[in-house]
Structure 1
Amino acid sequence: MSVDADQDDRDLEAELASPAAGQFGVPVDAVCVGCGRTRVKRASLEEMDQHPQANPTALEATDCTSFKHVCYGCQTATWWNPVAVLTGLLESDRDRGE
């Protein structure tokens, strides 16, 4: 799924703005393999085993591999499985010039 689906009552923009999401990369909704927590994270195309020149808006979560990122619930760096490429947040980043 590459759309920004209604994620219960989560504020995806606030999650993306949090330092816990990371500073650079494509915004994805991902699940921590340690605790099962779902959060917005940023990952580079290379971290998700994609060509560095790939169009992030054309990616599907199923095309992306797991990536390592900090989980504040587990309090460690762990693997995250992408479940959605958040194209709406990606477009918002571009509109703000990030």
Structure 2
Amino acid sequence: MSVDTDRDGRDLEAELANPAAGKFGIPVDAVCVGCGRTRVKRASLEEMDQHPRADPTALKASDCTSFKHVCYGCQSATWWNPVTVLIGLLESERDRGE
């Protein structure tokens, strides 16, 4: 997967930059259990039932549990299932010192 787009042509960097993605945590592509939308969200390691010092670049989405986040499609806080840990975006942020 490219750092900036996925196979469906979504601009993942733009989704991550959107305030709706959240301010803290690692970037993951996740599916809302309410409406089925897939969006880039940020979630902490703890929210996804991972050790706080785990290496996010070694995580697989299947290792992570669902986490609560706002869904603007559902207009509520709902559960999101991680589909992919967006390592490219995470490394890009690290390279920029964010």
TM range (shorter): over 0.9
Match of 1:39 in 2: 39
Structure 2: 5+ residue stretches without partners: none
* Structural mapping, 1:1-98, within 5 Å: 6-98=6-98
Q: Which amino acid aligns with 1:93?
A: E
8 Å Cα contact 2:21-2:41 kept in structure 1: yes
Identity of aligned residues (%): 83
Q: Which amino acid aligns with 1:76?
A: S
The separation in 1 between residues aligned to 2:6 and 2:18, in whole angstroms, is: 19
The CA RMSD measured in Å over matched residues stands at 1.2
